[in-house]
Structure 1
Amino acid sequence: MADFDIGSLLLLGTALLGTGVIAGIIAGLLGVGGGIVIVPVLYHMLLALGVDEQVVMHIAVGTSLATILGTGTSSALAHYRRGGVDVDLLKRWWLPIAIGVVTGSIVGGNVSGNVLSLIFATVALAVALNMILRKDGVSLATKLPGTPIKETLGFFIGSISVMMGIGGGTLSVPILTLFSYPIRLAVGTASAIGLLIAVPGTIGAIYYGLGVEARPPWSLGYVNLIGFLLIIPASTLSAPLGARIAHTINPRALKIVFALFLAFTGLRMFYDVLL
């Protein structure tokens, strides 16, 4: 594990606290899961602090998954109490999602940080294009496809999300709405899917990171405990601020700004890895 002096630890703590604040505000602004924000912000902050680039993406992904255990639980319960979780879909999807998460955890634990960065960058660019180009109300069909396509979609959501360190909403909401799912039900169900991804994903991140050199201090495997303890309260407290700001700004403009943020993040990761 990398050596940090007191000053570096304070700087790390400040950076992680800032990550939580930024993630919370953007999540409140756009209603997106924090992982899609936490991972790139944490990635760049850890790089700036001098953490070894070989473990930076693993730490960002593992820490992000761990934070979903806290934020995802409260979100899923809130949606469930309001009837916003499709329990029947979860019963049909939990197994392919779980198989996808286990597969993604094994792959993610055994590939380089550059590979994880390329996966994140590719999906981030795809999500950005979807946000910019897709018109509201556009769908492919009136219901989810049957077996085996439905199960394949669950496997895809689980495997890719766990390698990106996100809760699944970034992928499951666009996919569900493509098949005419009501947006509120899609968002609520996605929050429960996030827990299906985060629990085994966090366990995998801890397991595969045990004993790895160059990790920042207070890391349990690839989960940074300082980040876990600071990001959850910071993002939870700052999310309402983002929600208030959202009511004063044009929603379409917000989507475009966030899409540009994702596109910049993806292109920057491609640049870091390939050039």
Structure 2
Amino acid sequence: MVWWLAYIALGLFGGFFAGMLGIGGGLVMVPTLTMMFAAQAGFPAAEVLHLALGTSMAAIIFTALASVRAHHQHGAVLWSVVVQITPGILIGTLVGTLFAGSIPSKPLALFFTAFVCLVAAQMIFGLKPKPARELPGALGVFGVGTGIGALSALVAIGGGSLTVPFLTWCNVRVQNAIATSAAVGFPIAVGGSLGYIFNGWGHAGLPPGSLGYVYLPALLWLVPSSMLIAPLGARLAHRLPVATLKRLFAGILIVLAAKMAWGLFA
């Protein structure tokens, strides 16, 4: 029962910031789930990070749906961009999950931690590209989508930390960039989840209730809580001091990622 409550609390926390910042929640779910799985019996140490990545990616499917609905009600989603970028996203996520499944936990943890630190630095110092150009053509958007999808699947995020800067660089208003990123998070999560299920299918030693690298008992509690709170985060994105909350969230991310990496190596 204690772990169910922990999954619910994590879903509320990750879902709120996913809706507000358009990040999908994976940056906080992956290190936290890794530590939760490592603390429970029946989870092989070599696979706890892969299980956390797969479970987080599956949870993002539902978080993205709840978040994008709220953003769509504000008329902020650029659906033409979503349609153009989705084919590349799907290809990229499948490639990214295949690569992630072949990497041992420790190197993958180092890569994830380094990525989190870069994202956190971006949030803390407000680093963002200056609007310097327009959106590229269909082929260019497809290529960008492939890269975003691959990297997002590798670290199990909804792509917001990549999609938002790209759209901002292309002269898209910040609110529209966040809303469109939330919508793009759905195909990222679908493609990534399928990849992690495929890569972990039939893998010996996974705990009961696993569908490939997706741990269903955790997903069962993460989804309702994250879907419940994500729309609230999306609505408050238009009212609260998002820059201040980003810095606070960035500090939490660094602590969680460092603790996760320390636990895996220790």
Please report how far the alpha carbon of residue 240 of structure 1 lies from its aligned counterpart in structure 2 after TM superposition: 6.7
Quote the offset at 1:60 in angstroms. Answer: 0.9
TM-score, normalization by structure 1 = 0.82
Aligned equivalents of 2:135 and 2:236: distance in 1? 35
Task: Measure the CA separation in 2 of the matches of 1:216 and 1:16.
Answer: 17
Match for residue 100 of structure 1 among 79, 92, 95: 92
Aligned to 1:202: 193
- Counterparts of 1:215-226 in structure 2, within 5 Å, are 215-226=206-217
User: For each residue in 1:49-87, what CA deviation from the matched residue of structure 2 results, as whole angstroms up to 9, or x when unmatched?
Assistant: 253221111111111111122222233344345432223
Gaps of 5+ in 2: none
Match in the other structure for 1:124? 116
Q: Is the 8 A contact 1:118 1:269 kept in 2?
A: no
RMSD (Å) for aligned C-alpha atoms:
3.0
Matching of residues 1-275 of structure 1 within 5 Å? 10-27=1-18, 30=21, 32-50=23-41, 51-134=43-126, 139-145=130-136, 150-239=141-230, 251-272=242-263
The structure number with the bigger radius of gyration is: 1
Paired position in structure 2 for 1:6: none
Q: TM-score, normalised by structure 2?
A: 0.85
Q: 1:148 to 1:245 in 2, by over 3 A?
A: closer
Label 1:28 to 1:105 Cα distance change in 2 as closer, same or farther (>3 A): closer
1:246 deviates by: 8.4
Identity of aligned residues (%): 37
Q: Residue 49 and residue 79 in structure 1: after superposition, are their counterparts in 2 closer, same or farther (change >3 A)?
A: same
Q: Which moved more, 1:156-165 or 1:68-77?
A: 68-77
Q: CA deviation at 1:128?
A: 0.6
Give the CA deviation at 1:130.
0.7
| Alpha-carbon contact 1:35-1:64 (below 8 Å) kept | yes
Over 3 Å counting, the alpha-carbon distance change for 1:97 and 1:241 in structure 2 is closer
Displacement of 1:230: 0.6
The CA deviation at 1:238 is: 4.1
* Cα distance between partner residues in 1 of 2:137 and 2:175: 22
How far apart in 2 are the matches of 1:265 and 1:242? 21
SS in 1 for 2:206: coil
Q: Structure 1 residue 152: deviation in Å?
A: 3.6
C-alpha displacement at 1:108, in angstroms? 1.5
Residues 234 and 87 of structure 1: is their aligned pair in 2 closer, same or farther, counting only changes over 3 Å?
Answer: closer
CA contact (8 A) 1:76 1:188 kept: yes
Name which of structure 1's ranges 70-79 and 220-229 shifts more when overlaid on structure 2: 70-79
How far off its partner does 1:90 sit? 2.6
Q: Any gaps of 5 or more consecutive residues in structure 1?
A: 1-9
Code of the residue aligned with 1:209 in structure 2: it is: G
Which of structure 1's runs of 4+ aligned residues deviate more than 6 A?
Answer: 240-249
Counterpart contact for 1:102–1:159, Cα < 8 Å: yes
Q: How many residues align?
A: 265
Distance 1:156 1:274, change over 3 A: farther
Verify the 8 A CA contact 1:218 1:225 in the aligned structure 2: yes
Change in 2 beyond 3 A, CA 1:59/1:103: same
CA distance in 1, matches of 2:228, 2:61: 16
